[in-house]
Chain A
Amino acid sequence: MSSKADKQAALLAYVLRLGDNALIIAQRMIERVTNEAELEEELANANFALDYIGQARLFYSYAGKLENKGRSEDDFAFQRDSREYCNFLLLEQPNGHFGDAIVRQVLFESFYVLQLEALTRSSDERLAEIAVRAEKEVRYHLRHAAQWFVRLGDGTEFSHARVAVSLQNYWRFATEFFAADAVDETMRDSFDGPDLKVLEKQWQLDVSELVADASLSLPDTVARVDGGRAGLHSEHFGYLIAEMQHLHRSHPGVTW
């Protein structure tokens, strides 16, 4: 990883990963629309999903520009196949119940907010600009999800037991956030991007504090989960993109 072309290729791959993370978690959140137990939560969830769609658009538009082959944000979102998406596996897992959704948001957004904060200092100006905007949005999402996490964990016996299982189920997926590969290293070394080792320490601290506040305990570290960034998805992913891409594939180029 030394030539200018290699660096640009790594930047493009990185921006696409960010776009894929945002798009796939948005799709899962959109699946929850009309299913929240409270009207106010309904609005919050839909707003947050739209924040992520907005972020995905910014990342994909920028990826199109970096790639310089005329691909639009829609092409990246709707015209690729499963293996070309590089989102974290956590984000594509089925929604489950409300506690599952909250635990997923807490684990991912605790990481994502640190990632974005580091990216605001990137030497790549456009990426830094997008990160400034996205960081504010995600900081608020995390505040919202963290409060629910504590409320559920520290709430009734029933809510505590359920959210403890959610945490146990999703915990292993977090290892993927910190498995640095060549793209991450190039971002760190050539674009003043995040150092995942530093992020991991901070994430451990932040999440441990939240888990303690929620009267829960940290799960034992179990088998590592990896593969999302190589396009190796779980079985749920095919169903997810089938639904997500259905309209665009049935009516190519459709607008409204």
Chain B
Amino acid sequence: MSAKGWPLYEVFIRTRAGLSHRHAGSLHAADDQMALDHARDTYTRRMEGVSLWVVRSDRIIASDPAENAAFFEPAEDKIYRHPTFYEIPDGVENL
């Protein structure tokens, strides 16, 4: 029953309807069902969410930090890609 044998899971919470799931943290669990329960018990004790996703950390395909330059830096000087030239209508909170 040592945690050494339990894989790591990442937890995503949707805080309320209409918003997207956000990464909240990680935990250990023996299987998918247990991971979901643990996520509920660990991360939603104070009404933090209305929906939970869990995924095995080793199933996530992550970008390589060594490739950051090629991956992300070309976007740095392209201000025209930002939608900052629009006026946001009154009453719209999440765009």
Expressed in whole angstroms, the Cα–Cα distance for A67 and B42 within the complex equals 39
How far apart are the CA atoms of A47 and B41 in the complex, in Å? 7
Residues of B within 8 A of A151 (CB): 30-31, 34
Q: Is the CB of A40 within 8 A of B29?
A: yes
Given contacts A38-B28, A147-B34, A151-B30, contact A43 B41 (CB under 8 A): yes
Please measure, in the bound complex, the distance between the C-alpha atom of A43 and the C-alpha atom of B37, giving whole angstroms: 11
**Which one of A37, A40, A140, A147 lies within 8 Å of B42 (CB-CB)?**
A40
A144 sits at the interface (CB 8 A): yes
- A47–B45 contact, CB under 8 A? yes
Give A26-44 as 1s and 0s: 1 = Cβ < 8 Å from B's Cβ atoms: 0000000000011111011
B84 → A minimal CB distance (Å): 43
Check: B69 CB closer than 8 A to any chain A CB. no
A163 CB to closest chain B CB (Å) equals 13
Q: Give bound CA distance, A98 to B42, whole Å.
A: 20
Does A143 belong to the interface (CB within 8 Å)?
yes
A143-B37, A144-B37, A147-B34 as given contacts; A43 in contact with B42, CB under 8 Å: yes
Q: What's the minimum C-beta distance from A253 to chain B, rounded to whole angstroms?
A: 31
Instruction: For residue A161, give the distance in angstroms from its CB to the closest CB of chain B.
Output: 15
B17 → chain A closest CB, angstroms: 19
Asked if A38 and B37 sit within 8 Å, CB to CB, the answer is no
A residues 139-172 touching B (CB-CB < 8 Å): 140, 143-144, 147, 151
Residues of A in contact, count (CB < 8 Å): 14
In the complex, A140 Cα to B30 Cα: how many Å? 19
A-side contacts of B21, CB under 8 Å = none
Q: How far is the CB of A37 from chain B (nearest CB, A)?
A: 5
CA distance A151 to B33 in the complex (A): 11
**Chain A positions near chain B (C-beta within 8 angstroms):** 37-41, 43-44, 47, 98, 140, 143-144, 147, 151
Residues of B within 8 A of A (CB): 1-3, 6, 27-31, 33-34, 37-38, 40-42, 45
Known A37-B1, A38-B6, A47-B45; further 9 A-B contacts with Cβ < 8 A: A37-B2, A40-B38, A40-B41, A43-B45, A98-B1, A140-B40, A147-B34, A147-B37, A151-B30
Q: List 22 A-B contacts (CB under 8 A).
A: A37-B1, A37-B2, A38-B3, A38-B6, A38-B28, A39-B3, A39-B28, A40-B27, A40-B28, A40-B38, A41-B38, A43-B41, A43-B45, A44-B37, A44-B41, A47-B45, A98-B1, A140-B40, A144-B41, A147-B33, A147-B34, A147-B37
